[in-house]
Amino acid sequence: MITVATISKAAPGWSPSPFQAPALRPRLAQTVVTSSVTPPGGTVLGPPRAPLIDSALVNLIFDSLGATACGLLAYGSNNVGATKWAIIYGSLALLLTVRAGNNLYDVRER
């Protein structure tokens, strides 16, 4: 048989604590400076850095993958005899290769 006992107070070792916001820290290696008059987010010193999703390295990776895929599609379309699609995919691969080269230059510059 189950016996139910009522608890008159909270279990020892547990107590609700007030919310504590996380400490300010640099985001994406940016220097954060705070003072008594700045907003809670702080201010960023130096030139703003591009977010990771807009970085040249990520664009280089995706442009390289896209150029490879379009090159394979152009090669396959040419073997099947669909020359119109081979030209379309080949020109896309060429454009993505040029864009990847431009992004590679940006990665090496920064």
Q: What pLDDT shows up at residue 106?
A: 81
Query: What pLDDT was estimated at residue 1?
Result: 61
| Chain segment 45-97, per-residue pLDDT in tens | 566 665 666 778 888 899 999 999 999 999 999 998 899 999 999 999 999 99
Task: Name residue 44's beta-bridge partners.
Answer: 32
Query: Rounded mean pLDDT of 26-45?
Result: 56
Helix-helix angle 56-80:83-109, to 10 degrees = 160
List the chain domain ranges: 55-109
> pLDDT tens digits for 91-101?
999 999 999 99
Predicted pLDDT at 94: 96
